[in-house]
Homo-oligomer: A and B are copies of this chain.
């Protein structure tokens, strides 16, 4: 019983997310966001609340579309060790495609220290990623692809740290050799494959 929106909420959120992702919170103005979304400032405020509220929606949107989507895509479809390996390799490739890094890491550095609500979101999502790595490590051990001597908790902690580190390097030191070497060495803590998960079975 009223005038409907002339724009698609999700598309607009995508555009805003891209802006925040590229330039960060402080350096992105609401006018910039409106321009990217094709909206006037008034519509932005009407549809999304204030700048901070829009940012949290963008952050959630980004994390659902990227990190969580990657987890839910890889975890059920790949053997656990390969899921870990593929996750890291995809992060490396994405980091080399564009130098935007990871909006989660960016937000953790820029926003989290000064905003407890956003900090809680970030901590929760980092916990999700850590849990993914731990589940995969444990499942890999049960499947025999990862040595039982590996500590799943510390491994998940290192892998989470590595992902965040790769995202920083993507912005400040984006060399393929560096990112690939770091990822490969991080994966080496899983030990030599007890089976050959990435190759076809060779009798």
Contacts and interface: CB of A to CB of B under 8 A. Distances in A.
- State the majority secondary structure of interface residues on A: helix
A94 to B, nearest CB: 15
A139 interface: no
A93 to B, nearest CB: 16
B165 A178 contact: no
A168 B24 contact: no
Interface string A162-179: 111111110111000111
Range class of the A interface residue count: 35 or more
A50 to B, nearest CB: 17
A25 B124 CA distance: 27
B155 A185 contact: yes
Interface string A104-135: 11111110111000010011001100100000
A181 interface: yes
A181 B153 contact: yes
Contacts of A100: 113
A22 interface: yes
13 contacts: A108-B168, A109-B172, A113-B171, A127-B173, A157-B181, A157-B182, A161-B165, A163-B165, A164-B165, A164-B169, A167-B168, A186-B186, A189-B189
Interface of A: 22-24, 26-27, 99-101, 104-110, 112-114, 119, 122-123, 126-127, 130, 151, 153-155, 157-158, 160-169, 171-173, 177-179, 181-182, 184-186, 188-189
